[in-house]
């Protein structure tokens, strides 16, 4: 990430109309308008297709974090009005998870069936004749107080058609996995806004070569003791390519390696306060990058990212498309199975397969380079158009920029950070910008290069104070405790 320029399932076509509020563990009621049939897959054998989406419009990657109890909901859609009632039944089916784990090399654990309720009509939901969508069916979840709050569990559902005439379920819709975390016993970094609802999530991206991530423990909201930051991003790991083994891998430099190898010292104290820790990934001057991988290459690197997150207990990744030197090396000429011409489509594909490899982790990006926009060419997976809102959990605008939501269709304003701030250079957002964010429904904000050792730190504190005032009607409390770079 340049100091002068930075950091959320196939989306149902109808989901573009969803207005999702993605603050962790909290959402508002959604009003859904008519589906855009142009995004549907083409039915075969003269059959029409029934699609299933959750309350956030996602067809493949549903996530719920809750305390004591939680819920999500599912809804059926068809491209046009049905002539007779269409009914689909959802059942809890462990084999759906077994199939997923086998296909993806994963080992997700099942959430106990007795803690899950599927609707109030034996799991049956109906698209009434003459309409193109059903009412919502609620999937409610309760805690038994025994689940590990750091573990992602899965509620495995299978959908089956009861009566549908010429309609069949879409290729993605026979099973539905809901990834859940029971955070009942976990610390909570959620901060309420002036309206009493979960407020803006604060993200800090740090230069990991110099800055100790533990410095974020010194910032709290007023006198509440609640962590001021929700997410800390370690900038940065790299994508690299080994020409001998023809493997793409995650490279960690001499500063990140000791921090992650000592995660109990540098990472867990943040997570134990409810702060998520994410690893940034960018190019490293060898021709491999986030925007020149084929499907095979994207799947390979996505697995490497998942293994890295699992090994160090990280909460996700952030992509930043810089320093790859695509045109200098042209790896696609020598390794066409792994690399292709750089493009935003290739970048979108990697984001999708990364989310698919670890649906319970954050998949985020900084809007720069080939990851600047995903609206130029459609990403198609198994014949179905995939919208960015399906696989992106957060999008971060470059410093000072406002919203360009059309570039990443389906990503809600709640998950789109605007007016980002560059603390090393003293490039700050004004109070009016921050107030505008809140007024317009943005629930995410990013700062880069926070470090108590910098000459600009006094100005950083003032900027954080403006955030606290605009976002939470409160103050940012700094304890004065400084954590030095102490790794070797």
- Please give the structure tokens belonging to residue 383: 């014949």
Catalytic annotation, pick one of 322, 390, 409, 422: 322
* 342 flagged as catalytic: no
Using alpha carbons, select from 111, 5, 10 the residue that is nearest to residue 65. Answer: 111
Q: Facing residues of 140 across strands? A: 71, 117
Q: Which residues are annotated as catalytic?
A: 322
């Amino acid at each position: 990430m340049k100091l002068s320029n930075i950091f959320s399932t196939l989306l149902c076509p109808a989901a573009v109309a969803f207005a999702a509020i993605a603050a962790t563990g909290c959402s508002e009621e959604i009003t859904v308008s008519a589906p855009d049939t142009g995004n549907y897959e083409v039915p075969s054998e003269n059959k029409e297709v029934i699609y299933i989406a959750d309350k956030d419009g996602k067809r493949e990657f549903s996530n719920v974090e809750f305390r004591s109890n939680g819920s999500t909901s599912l809804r059926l859609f068809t491209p046009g009005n049905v002539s007779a009632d269409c009914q689909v039944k959802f059942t809890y089916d462990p084999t759906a998870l077994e199939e997923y784990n086998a296909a993806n090399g994963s080992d997700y654990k099942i959430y106990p069936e007795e803690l899950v309720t599927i609707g109030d009509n034996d799991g049956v939901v109906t698209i009434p004749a003459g309409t193109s969508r059903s009412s919502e069916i609620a999937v409610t979840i309760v805690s038994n107080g025994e689940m590990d709050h750091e573990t992602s569990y899965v509620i495995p559902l299978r959908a089956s058609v009861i009566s549908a005439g010429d309609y069949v379920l879409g290729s993605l819709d026979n099973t539905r996995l809901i990834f859940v975390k029971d955070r009942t016993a976990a610390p909570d970094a959620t901060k309420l806004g002036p309206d009493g609802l979960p407020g803006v999530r604060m993200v800090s991206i740090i230069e990991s070569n110099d800055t100790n991530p533990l410095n974020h423990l010194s910032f709290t909201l007023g006198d509440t003791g609640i962590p001021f930051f929700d997410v800390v991003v370690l900038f940065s790991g790299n994508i690299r390519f080994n020409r001998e083994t023809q493997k793409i891998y995650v490279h960690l430099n001499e500063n990140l390696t000791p921090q992650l190898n000592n995660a109990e010292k540098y990472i867990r104290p943040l997570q134990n306060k409810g702060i998520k820790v994410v690893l940034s990934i960018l190019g490293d001057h060898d021709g491999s990058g986030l925007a020149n991988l084929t499907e095979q290459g994207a799947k390979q690197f996505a697995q490497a990212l998942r293994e890295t997150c699992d090994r160090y207990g990280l909460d996700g990744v952030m992509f930043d498309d810089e320093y790859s030197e695509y045109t200098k090396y042209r790896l696609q000429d020598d390794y066409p199975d792994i690399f292709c011409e750089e493009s935003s489509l290739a970048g979108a594909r990697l984001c999708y397969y990364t989310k698919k490899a670890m649906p319970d982790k954050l998949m985020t990006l900084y809007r720069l380079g080939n990851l600047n926009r995903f609206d130029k060419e459609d990403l198609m997976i198994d014949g179905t158009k995939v919208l960015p809102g399906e696989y992106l959990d957060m999008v971060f605008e470059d410093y000072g920029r406002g919203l360009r939501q059309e570039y990443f269709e389906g990503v809600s304003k709640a998950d789109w950070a605007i007016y980002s701030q560059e603390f090393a250079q003293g490039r700050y957002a004004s109070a009016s910008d921050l107030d505008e964010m809140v007024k317009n429904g943005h629930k995410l904000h990013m700062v880069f290069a926070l470090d108590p050792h910098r000459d600009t730190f006094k100005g950083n504190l003032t900027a954080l104070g403006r955030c606290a005032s605009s976002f939470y009607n409160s103050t940012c409390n700094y304890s004065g405790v400084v954590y030095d770079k102490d790794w070797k």
